[in-house]
């Protein structure tokens, strides 16, 4: 039995490992000069390998097609991932939010142990070789053609990743191979990325990080996301943990009427906030409004809040009316911005969309269209929130594809 695994990312590597462990001849083809180029930049170079959680929690963090993932996640759980890496020589640790990292904090160590494990098992690793096509005859895979060779194969695993961060080698080739073989590719959208905002007053806030705020996102009047945490303003709009999570829930929407609403003081009710303003204004009766909000807000936000309130910035605190205070309170509880678009694939952590899972057997990752054709990792229409869930998807689907 000859197996060709296309793509030396996490899903391809783990797949090749188990495929070889089962006694099959395995060729792993990677077009880059080294394995795991994207893996190297994961977790800001520290690689958040997985999330140390139970399967139900895991599935709750999967955005697209969690049901499809059920059997592969049970077959290879986050605990199995940790045990696997420990068994090939990588010590791990668990951090805040159950995020698992290598003890060394180095993604390069993850790649090193995977490469060593593959080499010691005798996987034939081909670097600097690009797969150009996968051929089938009578609905059965037969051959993989590269820029340098042709390989006869009775099993081919497409593990070529998505199209985000294309500089790492994930350029969407697998979608073309699959389409040519009769598979459907669902709409591809960047996910886990920043938001470009409409207008330009956000530009004044560039570089501002907001901690412990609540971000709510609405489509028309319907709120579909609300969470407390951290976000930041950039030259294009907003980014940071809250925004990345919100982006994953925004990918499939039309961007006509998406509003971001930031509650700058989520710990206070509007009434409490009004009292707080009243107290601050009473203490500094003769101060101008523009000099009176420093204790409540980061400096960079004050001009924008005052501009949007329509109150003269030089107005003294003791002249501010009840109505004007109500306007300030409402801005502090709901500072709104309109979404223009999502940032592009060049910056997205993950691709939303991919090979339709309806055409893939969830227990084996084998194509229902072409016999002997398998898929693993991000090339499939699967994606999850940040926290190690996306790499776990790569490991679980890679394991299942290689263990059949």
Sign of the Cα torsion 136, 141, 144, 150 reads negative
* Nearest partner of 90 among 110, 63, 75, judged by Cα: 110
CB of 36 to ligand FAD, least distance (A): 7
Q: How many residues does the chain have?
A: 404
Give the shortest CB-54-to-ligand FAD separation in angstroms: 17
| Total residues at interface with ligand FAD (CB under 6 A) | 38
Per-residue DSSP letter, 90: -
Binding status of residue 38 toward ligand FAD by CB under 6 A: yes
Residues within window 356-385 making contact with ligand FAD, judged by CB under 6 A: 377-378
Query: Using the 8-state DSSP alphabet, how is residue 187 labeled?
Result: P
* Cα–Cα dist 260/22, whole Å: 51
| 126: contact with ligand FAD by CB under 6 A | no
Nearer to ligand FAD, 111 or 302 (CB): 111
Q: Which DSSP symbol is given to 256? A: T
CB of 298 to ligand FAD, least distance (A): 27
Q: Is 314 exposed, middle or buried (0-12, 13-18, 19+ CB in 10 A)?
A: exposed
Q: Residue ranges of the alpha helices (H) in 142-240?
A: 173-180
Which of 3, 4, 10, 240 is the binder for ligand FAD (CB under 6 A)? 10
Binders of ligand FAD among residues 139 to 178 (CB under 6 A) are 159-161, 164-165, 169-170, 173
Give the residue among 371, 365, 355 at the shortest CA–CA distance from 72: 365
77 binding ligand FAD? (CB under 6 A)? no
37 binds ligand FAD (CB under 6 A): yes
The partner residues of 126 in beta bridges, in order of sequence, read: 29
Is beta strand 195-197 parallel, antiparallel or unpaired with respect to 189-191?
A: unpaired
3, 5, 7, 239: residue in contact with ligand FAD (rule CB under 6 A): 7
The residues that bridge with 360 in the sheet, in sequence order, are 367
The interface region with ligand FAD, picked from 32-40, 220-228, 272-280, 296-304 by CB under 6 A, is: 32-40
Told to check if 48 binds ligand FAD by CB under 6 A, we report yes
Provide, rounded to whole angstroms, the least separation between the CB of residue 338 and ligand FAD: 27
Q: Which residue number, 66 or 266, has a Cβ lying nearer to ligand FAD?
A: 66
Stretch that binds ligand FAD, among 3-11, 88-96, 241-249, 274-282 (CB under 6 A): 3-11
Three-class secondary structure of residue 71 per DSSP: helix
Q: By CB under 6 A, is residue 27 in contact with ligand FAD?
A: no
The least distance separating ligand FAD from the CB of residue 188, rounded to whole angstroms, comes to 14
245 binds ligand FAD (CB under 6 A): no
Q: What is the DSSP string of 263-332?
A: ES-TTS-HHHHHHHHHHHHHHTTTSBGGGS-TTTS-GGGHHHHHHHHT--TT-BGGG--HHHHHHHHHHH
| Least Cβ distance, residue 15 to ligand FAD (angstroms) | 9
DSSP symbol at 359: G
In the complex, which residues of this chain contact ligand FAD (CB under 6 A)? Answer: 6-12, 29-32, 37-39, 41-43, 47-48, 130-131, 159-161, 164-165, 169-170, 173, 349-350, 377-378, 388-391, 394
């Amino acid at each position: 039995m000859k197996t060709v695994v296309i793509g030396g990312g996490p899903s391809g590597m783990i797949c090749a490992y188990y495929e070889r462990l089962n006694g099959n001849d395995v060729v792993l083809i990677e077009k880059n000069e080294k394995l795991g180029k994207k893996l190297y930049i994961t977790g800001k170079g520290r690689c958040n390998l997985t999330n140390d959680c139970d399967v139900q929690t895991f599935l709750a963090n999967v955005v697209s097609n969690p049901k499809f993932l059920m059997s592969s996640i049970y077959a290879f759980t986050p605990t199995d991932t940790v045990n696997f890496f420990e068994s090939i020589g990588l010590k791990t640790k668990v951090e805040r939010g159950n995020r698992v990292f290598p003890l060394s904090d180095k993604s390069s160590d993850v790649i090193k142990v995977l490469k060593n494990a593959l080499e010691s098992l005798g996987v034939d690793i081909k670097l600097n070789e690009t797969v150009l096509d996968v051929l089938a005859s009578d609905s059965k895979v037969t051959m993989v053609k590269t820029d340098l060779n042709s390989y006869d194969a009775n099993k081919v695993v497409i593990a070529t990743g998505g199209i985000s961060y294309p500089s790492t080698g994930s350029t969407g080739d697998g979608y073309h191979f699959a389409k040519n073989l009769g598979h459907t590719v669902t709409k591809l959208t960047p996910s886990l990325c920043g938001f470009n905002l409409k207008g330009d007053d956000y530009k004044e806030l560039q570089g501002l990080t907001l901690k412990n705020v609540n971000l709510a996102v609405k489509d028309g009047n319907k709120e579909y996301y609300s969470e407390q945490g951290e976000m930041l303003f950039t030259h294009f709009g907003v980014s940071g943990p809250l925004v990345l999570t919100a982006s994953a829930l925004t990918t499939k929407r039309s961007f006509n009427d998406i509003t971001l609403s930031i509650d700058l003081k989520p710990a206070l009710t509007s009434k409490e906030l009004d009292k707080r303003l009243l107290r601050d204004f009473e203490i500094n009766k003769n101060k101008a409004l523009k000099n009176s909000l420093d204790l409540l807000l980061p400096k960079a936000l004050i001009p924008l809040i005052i501009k949007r309130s329509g109150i003269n910035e030089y107005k003294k605190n003791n002249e501010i009316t009840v109505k004007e205070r109500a306007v300030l309170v409402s801005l502090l509880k709901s500072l709104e911005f309109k979404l223009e678009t999502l940032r592009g694939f060049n910056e997205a952590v993950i691709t939303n969309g991919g090979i339709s899972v309806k055409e893939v057997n969830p227990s084996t990752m084998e194509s229902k269209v072409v016999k002997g054709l398998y898929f693993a990792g991000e090339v499939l229409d699967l994606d999850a929130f940040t926290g190690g869930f996306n790499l776990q998807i790569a490991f679980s689907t890679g394991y299942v594809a290689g263990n059949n």
